[in-house]
Amino acid sequence: MKNVDLTYSAFLSTIAAKFLAIQFSETPDQYFLFAIEGNISWETVLLKGTSDATDFETNYKASSNKPLFPPQVNFKDLGDNIPIALVNIAANKIARVIDLEIPAGKRWDISSWDASGSNDGFYELIELFGTQVDTLRDAMDATTGWSITVGPGTLSLDTTDKVQGTGSLKISGTGTGGAQITLQKTVSPTQNWSADSEVAFWCKASSLTNSPKVWLRVSQAATTYTFSQQALGTAWNEFRFDLTEITNFDKTAVSKVEIFVKNTASRDFHFDELHTLSLGDSSEIDHFFSGAKVPYNHIFSVPIQIPAGHRVIVNVTNKQGVAGDFEVGMNGNEVTI
């Protein structure tokens, strides 16, 4: 990947012109800002306490570290060339890289790369032509039924900081080292999730000291499945987990949900809107097993012609025994309709 160092003002101009998402990490003394565009990383470094750092904290920090492709972004808002989405996928896991609405009038080409140069990937392109069903499983508007079963922390309801409804669940954690906090709910009566493709909830942490993580376990009677950890941010983010990974039970009688956070400092965690989503009617457009071991090797380019308002998702499965980076991008430069 090519790294391009910019001044703060040039960095802001670049991400605005290219519709890129700001990502950042920080140390006690500075912020490292970057934005990914294909194989280019636009970067700048800010010393804390400077006017540039204050501007970032005031105007951009809270909205940074968001997913590179929010669900159902319309391509018309972004122009003809869509920045490539880069994801790190755990060993032998599947991730949804793109889930976007397709406008009519162009032939859209989906292209993908194995960015790590060391992992095989199976790429699956699916057109969604039905209506996605979003089922609320718990509004998280009350602490009723929820409890902390592991770890140092207290559970309460926050009625001012929320995504939807009348409140969100708040854990005030006092963990040190690698302390884990478990937020648990026994589902009664049991719920049938067999028709759903994803389970999701909203979550955030009050600080990013020592990189806090969040993950999920779903149970049916005594059988459980634990999903991989995901990194937390300080702004509300929706965390989605692929229910098709679960093969050890049929999800017809989900009886318990456990949300885990890895806490290494005194901080607050907020949780809101536990829900499941189904794909609706769908058809596979294409699939491709990369088998590539060359950095940025071009894997495939698939032409797609889909009526307006339909959507395409791209699932990528990392077929190797180690984590790796995978990229998917789209362009619509060829008018065919």
Per-residue model confidence as pLDDT tens digits over 186-200: 999 999 999 888 899
What secondary structure does DSSP assign to 238-298, as a single string? EEEEEGGG--SS-SSSEEEEEEEEE--SEEEEEEEEEEEEE--SEEEEEEEE----STTEE
Same domain flag for 113 and 181:
no
Residue 31 included in any domain: yes
Count how many domains the chain has.
3
According to the model, what pLDDT value does residue 70 have?
Answer: 34
Same domain flag for 185 and 79:
no
According to the model, what pLDDT value does residue 145 have?
Answer: 94
- Give pLDDT tens digits for 261-286: 987 778 899 999 999 988 666 665 55
According to the model, what pLDDT value does residue 42 have?
Answer: 82
- Give pLDDT tens digits for 9-42: 889 888 776 667 788 888 888 898 988 765 577 8
Q: Can you give the pTM of this predicted structure?
A: 0.55
Mean per-residue pLDDT, 75-90: 49
182: pLDDT strictly greater than 60: yes
259: pLDDT strictly greater than 90: yes
CATH code assigned at 239: 2.60.120.260
Question: Which residues form the domain of 45?
Answer: 2-63
Mean per-residue pLDDT, 90-94: 66
Mean per-residue pLDDT, 161-186: 85
Contacts with 189 (C-beta within 8 Å, 6 or more apart), sequence order: none
Q: Which residue has the higher pLDDT, 208 or 111?
A: 208
pLDDT band at 304 (very low <50, low <70, confident <90, very high): low
Same domain flag for 39 and 142:
no
